[in-house]
Homo-oligomer: A and B are copies of this chain.
Amino acid sequence: MLELPILGLLQEEPLHGYELKKRLDETLGLWGVSFGSLYPALARLEREGAIEAIDPVDGDRRPLFPTTGSLAGEAAAARRRRVVVSRRRRKAYRITSVGTARFEQLLEEDPPPTADDDRAFAVKLAFCRYLPREARLAILERRRTQLADRLDRAQRVLRAQRDRRRPEDPYARSLVEHGTRTAAHDLEWVDELIAAEREAAAPESASAGTPSPGGNTL
């Protein structure tokens, strides 16, 4: 579950673990990633050859500005201290071609439905800009199917609840009703995304044109 967002973030630029965690926490913002899962994941990816550690070269030395304190003073102080070697413990990772392949595979594969389909889709959407339009559409279509199924099931459960003569629990009832609304809402959203994607694929206003066969990466 972590591999995809890690590879996704490394797509832009090499990063080290600590920074990676911060970005995962905020950008993907919904769930806290722990170091205890991040570092093993990085080790795994490195073992597989999907990423490689680059040694902290010159330019890496002070990428973060101190949050307080005068810059000039800081620079002077740095000059006074043993100047050059610093931050050597940081291990930045760069994605390899193997990693890019793996990244695309993870984005495009259709895993068996699981408890966190929603999160999985969110992560995919967050990085699907790196895919060609067709692959992106495939992801969206699959999500559409998924949501349509969910809506269907929710509506059936709703009907079943109504038909039961049972005293009927208002909480379970409200839960299913809200679930139904949410599924419908999500479905609309995905439909909009799909429509936008199709629109972008065929910008000519022709109504019956063949769909553009293009597969450009945005």
Interface, chain A (partner B; CB < 8 A): 26-27, 29-32, 113-116, 119, 122, 125-126, 128-129, 150, 153-154, 157, 169-172, 174-175, 178-179, 181-182, 185-186, 189, 193, 196
Contact = CB atoms under 8 A, between A and B. Distances in A.
A121 to B, nearest CB: 9
Contact of A115 (B29, B31, B150): B31
Contacts of A119: 115
| Identical subunits present | 2
Contacts of A115: 30-31, 116, 119
A145 B192 CA distance: 31
A153 B126 CA distance: 17
B185 A129 contact: no
Contacts of A171: 125-126, 128-129, 193
Q: Is the interface of A mostly helix, strand, loop or mixed?
A: helix
Contacts of A31: 114-115
Given A29-B153, A115-B116, A182-B182, A193 B174 contact: yes
Contacts of A172: 27, 125-126, 129
A113 B175 contact: no
A116 B213 CA distance: 40
Contacts of A186: 178, 182
Nearest to A128: B171
Contacts of A32: 113
A157 B23 CA distance: 12
Contacts of A189: 174, 178
Nearest to A161: B27
B122 A26 contact: no
A157 to B, nearest CB: 6
Nearest to A190: B178
Contacts of A196: 170
Contacts of A178: 186, 189
Nearest to A139: B171
Nearest to A121: B175
Nearest to A192: B174
